A and B are shown apart, each in its own frame.
Chain A
Amino acid sequence: MSLQINCPNCGSRPVEEFLYGEIPVVPDSITDPDARDLDRAFMRSNTEGPQTERWFHLFGCRRWLTLRRDTRTDEIIADM
């Protein structure tokens, strides 16, 4: 079965109804403003493990939700 996402408004719905929304994170260790712009535009944390992410319920209530997912297993750890 494909990934199911728990929408606070619509209940458990298949992932195909949602749009993935990344939360871009520029590490604090990058201090130069130009380097921060470059990182913000192109670089990705590409987390291998649990990460917090946003999803938009495109074919549903059209609202954003937040959850934590383990990218190694696709398991949703927590709804937030």
Chain B
Amino acid sequence: MNEFMEQKVALTWQQPKRSYDVVIVGGGGHGLATAYYLATRHGITNVAVLERKYIGGGNSGRNTTIIRSNYGIPEAVRFYQHSVELYAQLEAETDRWIMHKQKGLLWMAHTEAGLRAERARAAVNTAFGAKTEFVTPQQVKEIAPQIDLTGGGEWPVLGASYHHEGATARHDRVVWAYAEGAMQRGVHVHQRIAVTGLLKDGDKVTGVQTDAGPIAAKVVVSAVGGHVTTLGAMAGLRLPIRTHPLQAYVTNHYAHNFDTIAASTALLFYISQTARGEMLIGAEIDRQPSYSYRSGHHLLQSCSHRAITLFPFLRDLRVLRQWTGVCDMSPDYSPIMGKTGVDGFYITTGWGTWGFKAIPAGGEQMAALIATGATPELIAPFALDRFAKDRTLADRGSAGTH
């Protein structure tokens, strides 16, 4: 670790204790935010976060850092809107610069059906507290002057929903802000400790088995990304999760401002500009389930083709980096949070391609659940038992990746 890192990241290393009140498996945004809110909101600091690699090295470091709440169903709009608001005040709360920037987000409609969908989105957003309005092609051009409204003659922009509070933040700074805030209050964050099994007393989960020995816990929380099926199976659970890779990439520096976030669900891409000036482009998930981090040329080719249809200036840029994350896709494209039916084992998963924006609210609500033992009203609809109860929260159209 160099001098810069020592100054900037006040992470400390401790020996793992043999028991904690709460053990959180997975040192990504959701796990660390849960620990942070346990410490700050509920005074519960006898907490360990176990990360098998390094914090923020999984999907928290492999997303496209978009923060938004323009979802299509009331439960989701409420939840993500709360997250958007927590993000907006996170710098003040943690005294850490997460490079949060409100940019607005355009979601294009290219067909009559698309127009209906975006009008409906604006209406349901407005009704449940998110600031989204329907805008005309002329307004789209004012917000994103680089756009070709004819869509190369094939994908004309007929209108869009404009989500005012769409924002981005620096992914690893978010992770570090939560990690530091939690550790300052006494939470242990253990890196390079892999969970290999669960300790059980009958059906009850009483701790975790790790490659550094057993650790007892009153509550075990799975905040795992990508490998939740394996961890769930250790608790005796079958989960409605399929793990798919999602790829994204950045171009070299674009010498002009691109002030907004633009997305087209019909063309299956979204684009924003990073603080370094690179154009960040993301696309749809790979169709086959996989745990592989392998990126492919096919995605670059097909996604660039679609992105250039709306934004011809991208033609002149070059691809710099490409990466892949593995996304836990739920059947209804909504997250799964809360109790599992197994005593002492809570879960936060199903974060598919929408996990980064939900880090603050997901962590805060999971912390409230752990502290009180009662599921908060905001996340009650997202419980695992919704599938058995036929209360699924179908919102595929808002994932932006399908």
Contacts and interface: CB of A to CB of B under 8 A. Distances in A.
A34 B291 CA distance: 31
Most buried by A among B238, B243, B297, B388: B238
Nearest to A39: B238
A39 B239 CA distance: 9
A46 B244 CA distance: 10
B241 A46 contact: yes
Nearest 3 pairs between A and B by C-beta? A2-B296, A46-B229, A20-B288
A42 B331 contact: yes
A73 B290 CA distance: 8
Contacts of A78: none
Interface residues of B, number: 23
Contact of A73 (B229, B289, B292): B292
B241 A74 contact: no
Nearest to A43: B238
B364 to A, nearest CB: 27
A11 interface: no
Given A46-B241, A46-B243, 11 more contacts: A1-B297, A2-B296, A14-B298, A16-B302, A20-B287, A30-B238, A39-B238, A44-B241, A46-B289, A48-B230, A74-B292
B399 to A, nearest CB: 17
Interface of B: 227, 229-230, 238-243, 287-292, 294, 296-298, 302, 331, 387-388
A69 B331 CA distance: 22
A65 B193 CA distance: 40
B297 A44 contact: no
Interface in A17-51: 19-20, 22, 27, 30, 38-39, 41-46, 48
A65 B238 CA distance: 28
Contacts of B230: 48
A46 B242 contact: yes
A77 interface: no
Most buried by B among A19, A22, A42, A71: A42
A23 to B, nearest CB: 12
Given A44-B242, A46-B229, A74 B290 contact: yes
A17 to B, nearest CB: 11
A15 interface: yes
A2 B297 contact: yes
Contacts of A71: 243, 289-292
Most buried by B among A2, A38, A44, A69: A44
Contacts of A69: 288
A52 to B, nearest CB: 13
B220 to A, nearest CB: 20
B372 to A, nearest CB: 28
Contacts of B296: 1-3
Nearest to A72: B291
Given A14-B298, A39-B238, A42-B387, A48 B331 contact: no
Nearest to B232: A46
A39 B388 CA distance: 9
22 contacts: A1-B296, A2-B298, A14-B298, A15-B288, A22-B242, A27-B238, A41-B387, A43-B238, A43-B240, A44-B242, A45-B229, A46-B239, A46-B242, A48-B227, A48-B243, A48-B291, A53-B288, A71-B290, A71-B292, A72-B292, A73-B294, A74-B294
